[in-house]
Amino acid sequence: MVGTRGALIVLDIVVPEDVLVQRLASRRICGACGANATADTRQACLKCGGPLVVRTDDGAEIVRERLKVYQRQTRPLVEYYSARPTFRAIDGNQLPDAVTSGIDSAIAAAVAAGGARP
């Protein structure tokens, strides 16, 4: 159906660049099964016991290049949408549960402000 959607809600999860680089550079995957692993001191995959390795696309220079692409291509969209009443920025430099709570609150506030439906 045309015209049945609510207002567009735009969320910008904000994390300092140096934190993003550190987070991505510390990610690991299993070299055997490809499962994602947390950045802790384990050396083996919990799923299959395979070795944990750095993702090839998570080197610091590659991450910085991806962030440059974000600045060129995506940042202008964030600036465009930031004037809308249904735009919300969320502090992404928190524990995952806090970010999730921030997202939930931002969506609720955007719905209330713009008449959008979740």
Q: Measuring CA to CA, how many Å separate 59 from each of 51, 56, 69?
A: 18, 7, 16
The closest of 11, 18, 1 to 104, measured between CA atoms, is: 11
* Residue 1: per-residue pLDDT: 45
User: For the chain, give me the number of helices (H) and strands (E)?
Assistant: 4, 5
In the predicted model, is pLDDT for residue 117 greater than 60?
Answer: no
**102-118 average pLDDT score:** 82
In which band, very low, low, confident or very high, does the pLDDT at 57 lie, cut at 50, 70 and 90? confident
Task: Indicate whether 40 belongs to any domain.
Answer: no
In which band, very low, low, confident or very high, does the pLDDT at 108 lie, cut at 50, 70 and 90? very high
Task: Indicate whether 34 belongs to any domain.
Answer: no
Task: Indicate whether 100 belongs to any domain.
Answer: yes
**106-110 average pLDDT score:** 91
Neighbours of 84 (CB within 10 A): 15
Task: Indicate whether 41 belongs to any domain.
Answer: no
Domain that holds residue 18: 10-25+60-114
Domain count, the chain: 1
Task: Indicate whether 50 belongs to any domain.
Answer: no
Task: Indicate whether 5 belongs to any domain.
Answer: no
